[in-house]
Amino acid sequence: MSRVPLRVALGLALLGGGCATVPKDPDARAAFSEANDPLEPLNRKVFGFNLFVDRILIKPVAQGYARALPRLARESIRNFVSNLNEPVVFANNVLQGQFRRAETTAGRFALDSTLGLAGLIDFASPRGMRKQTGDFGQTLFVWGVPEGPYLILPVLGPSNPRDTVGLGVDAYLSPYRFVVEDNDSPTLIAYGPAILGGIDERSRSIDELDAIEKEALDYYASLRSLFRQNRAAQLKGGDAAPTLGQDSFYEDPGVSPAEKGSTGADRLSR
């Protein structure tokens, strides 16, 4: 499973026929560079495929999930899936040298796995132990690895080569994977948390994405900018992302004008 995103990223990168032509006009060229989407023709085709899958399968399932389960049940599922990922967050906090965040993450996992009934209840947050961010894509950013071009992965959605590799590494490092494999668990148990997490996340974004699709002149470009801004916030340590429509709509993730001379580790520790 963890190898699939990497194969997809490499395949997309090798498909030179899907590359956009660099504009000759200076202003258009600057906008082209800021968007960081040289594979836009290919990305738009994959985006169209993802929209089709979403409309006939993912969105209806997410809507049914939201209607069938009460809010408390959905929150419990969200907490459980998030708690399963805490060891991965902890490992990446350590790899990034963020030891205070690692300590918080370890404390959250210990409390929520015990007093929080295997993570069904977020017992740690009300006690001042805020959930931390941490994935291997973020770790690669701290280590100075460039993000590469914007990518749309089939079904998985927006990404870039750095985050795609990170996704595969995180999937491999997850302790849940080792437990499932050691016990030869059925497919539903092996992939159930990831599927539930994806359905829950989609159910929470139904209204927002519908509004963006309705109001945006270019739905693809709007989601590209929203993804990159949200990812920039995560790379900076989890601060709130800018909202759609701001002047920084195509700002380069993780690099503000004041930060261009600093290292990834410096930016993340602020």
Structure confidence by residue, pLDDT tens digits, 60-70: 999 999 999 99
Backbone CA torsion sign across 1, 161, 95, 250 = negative
Looking at the DSSP bridge assignments, the partners of residue 152 are: 158
Which of the pair, 234 or 13, is modelled with greater confidence?
234
Concatenate the DSSP letters of all residues of 242-253 into one string.
PPTTSTTTTPPT
pLDDT of residue 35: 82
Residue 19 lies in domain: 3-268
Q: Where are the alpha helices (DSSP H) in the chain?
A: 3-14, 26-35, 40-53, 59-68, 71-84, 86-95, 99-114, 136-142, 161-173, 175-182, 187-204, 206-215, 219-235, 264-268
pLDDT of residue 76: 97
pLDDT of residue 18: 59
Say yes or no to pLDDT of 130 above 90.
yes
Q: How many folded domains does the chain comprise?
A: 1
Calpha distance 195→139 (Å, rounded): 25
Calpha distance 36→30 (Å, rounded): 10
Alpha carbon of 165 to those of 8, 9, 30: distances in Å? Answer: 10, 8, 28
Q: How confident is the model at residue 261 (pLDDT cuts 50, 70, 90)?
A: very low
* Mean pLDDT, rounded, for 38-56: 97
pLDDT of residue 178: 85
Say yes or no to pLDDT of 136 above 60.
yes
| pTM beyond cutoff 0.85 | no
pLDDT of residue 184: 78
pLDDT tens digits, 103-121: 999 999 999 999 999 999 9
pLDDT of residue 61: 98
176-180, 181-185, 224-228, 262-266: least confidently modelled range = 262-266
Q: How confident is the model at residue 238 (pLDDT cuts 50, 70, 90)?
A: low
Say yes or no to pLDDT of 133 above 70.
yes
Calpha distance 230→234 (Å, rounded): 6
Chain-wide mean pLDDT for the chain? 83
Q: Quickly tell me which residue has 């959250």 as its tokens.
A: 108
